[in-house]
Amino acid sequence: MSKREEYLEISKEITKLVGGMDNIQGTAHCATRLRIVLQDDSKADLKKLEDVSKVKGAFIAGNQLQLIFGAGLVNDVYEVFAEYTHTQNMSLGDLKEQSAKKQNPVQAVVKALSDVFIGIMPAILAAALLMGLTGVLGNLEIVKNNETLYALNKLTSLASTGIFAILPIAVCYSAVKRFGGNPVLGMVMGAIMLDSSLANAYSVGAGTVEPEVLHLFGLNVALVGFQGGIIIALMMGFVVAKLDLFFNKKVPDAIKLLLAPMLTVFLSTVLLFTCVGPMGRILSNGITGGLVWATEHLGVFGYALFGGLQQIIVITGLHHIIGAVEAQLIATTGLNFINPLMSVALMGQGGAVLAYLALNWKNVKARELCIPSFCSTLFGISEPAIFGVNLRYRYPLAGGCIGGAVGGIYVYFANLTSLGFGTTALPGIAIVNPENNGYVNYVIAHILALAGGFICAAFLGKIMGKKEEPAEELQPEIQPDAQQQFTGTIELMAPANGRVRPVAFIYPGGHALGLELEDGSAVLLHCGVDTVNLRGKGFTVLVKEGQRVAAGELLLRFDKQLIEKEGYSTELLMIISEVAEGRSLKIVDLDGMADHAVVAVLL
């Protein structure tokens, strides 16, 4: 069977298990998951979807059914699935619009925040990587004493600070774009927030500068800049977008180009200094202050709690909001202690996956599921591990949480921090703060989390877990028990769609399969007439000799067109060669089978 044929069968099975074509509103895919928006989510059989070939996990999040296939494979499966369901022209953005219609307010806010930071994440990651590099190079004597190396390091330092200097502009731009307004107006508003005529927010906070105060309708408006105002930039992006949409709708076309953007920028500026800015400062200070308070007062317990529970937040989808908090934390303090905690939390779940794999190593399906899932955690992607293994079997999730807590404890005592956000696990080492042996401590923290998750999940698995039976191992032949009596009807299912013809004779030779029932009854399935002459050409056997099969299980495929082109009949012969004493036969239809596949027929 070709890959495309295999993916087509997978597509058909998925379509059936989600409630049919009529229940599919749209499809798209991300790096690892096939995403489907359904008319009615309750029609999706998640348990059976998890058992579909190649699927490593199935769950509903963000009003989307998400099937985990893994990087690379998901692209190929999506291509066939989208063609089969006639949704190939839908983009991920279109899918988000469809799913957004079904979101509650909390989900909508979380999703919007995630979308805002997706666009600027590459710049933040680049800056963080460069910041980590210059931090290491700046301490080397050879760099300090060599003019060229010193110059290169100086340029690296400049490159690393650029995005953080204009982060409010970037965030406001991205937010306006996300909420449907003209993103250039967001850029203008971000520039107003950082205008050089305003008193620097950090200098005002340090008490070294006194800002100018305006009196507007009885209100005292301090002209202070919004350096580091990430939360405020998010809020202003929403305001600018909504005002832009409003004025473009209300202002007459003849003067729209002139008047609409002017009104948007002016009114947004007034709102920035009178209400949005002050409220945003209170919210920002509350978030940052709360996190700092937790680290100072909850100490190691707070770190352990975060490291243990962060991946539970991933299950809810609320983890996307953490990016905004991290950005605000970096803008305020220059460091990010959340990133290494998120990273060890993820690694704890990776250790739990390895524990489940070790307990079920003989199970082929477990190996296919766990190995790529663990590899994904090494590169900062936890969804295959969480949804494909740990949440599915429960005890690995608990063990992984304990492992994350162990890693969090070490992060606390090592005073481990990052210079950026957005990447964890192996890639995350590039943005580690090198101070206090940061790189070494980062590795140790992850090893402890991995080991903790493995040991705890393995222990819980021994107590609570049930080993999976090997899914693809050959089963020993079952010999009829001489003392056991079999009675009743043997139901024979049609091996393929088509007309049923009486068999008057049997051609010698041919491609055939024999099936034996526990009572000794036997059936021969013969594919075509004289097809033995093809020497296997056009036939794909999907089972092995001695393997137990169930009704409806696929046994072999054959290329009908090829066989007919070679001049042979494609009729299927089902010959009952032996029936146990006391048994009768009954023919049962099997709907939905193609006429080029042979399935098990004995119940």
Q: Could you give the residue numbers annotated as active site? A: 30
d(CA 411, CA 484): 64
The residues, ordered by sequence, that sit 6+ positions from 178 with a Cβ below 8 Å of its Cβ are 112, 115, 116, 119, 237, 241
Question: Torsion-angle region of residue 432: left (phi > 0), alpha (psi -120 to 50) or beta?
Answer: beta
The DSSP secondary-structure symbol of 572 reads E
User: Bridge-partner residues for 573, per DSSP?
Assistant: 526
Say if residues 70 and 372 touch (Cβ distance below 8 Å).
yes
d(CA 280, CA 178): 19
Do the strands 597-599 and 554-558 form a parallel or antiparallel pair, or are they unpaired?
Answer: antiparallel
Closest CA relative to residue 500, chosen from 426, 571, 402:
571
Q: Which two structure tokens, joined as six digits, stand for 274?
A: 């009178």
Angstrom CA distances, 471 to 214, 370, 374, 564, 572, stand at 75, 14, 20, 36, 29
The DSSP secondary-structure symbol of 382 reads -
Q: Which two structure tokens, joined as six digits, stand for 431?
A: 């943005």
d(CA 176, CA 234): 9
Q: Which amino acid is at 425?
A: A
Q: What is the DSSP string of 68-121?
A: E--TTHHHHHHHHHHHHHT-TT--HHHHHHHHHTT--HHHHHHHHHHHHHHHHH
d(CA 325, CA 590): 56
496-523 burial code (b ≥16 CB/10 A, e <16): beeeeeeeeeeeeebbbbebbbebebbb
Angstrom CA distances, 570 to 242, 530, 558, stand at 65, 10, 9
d(CA 212, CA 533): 95
d(CA 36, CA 56): 16
3-state secondary structure 133-191: HHHHHCCCHHHHHCHHHHHHHHHHHHHHHHHHHCHHHHHHHHHHHHCCCCHHHHHHHHH
d(CA 23, CA 20): 6
Q: Which two structure tokens, joined as six digits, stand for 68?
A: 């985990």
User: Bridge-partner residues for 415, per DSSP?
Assistant: none
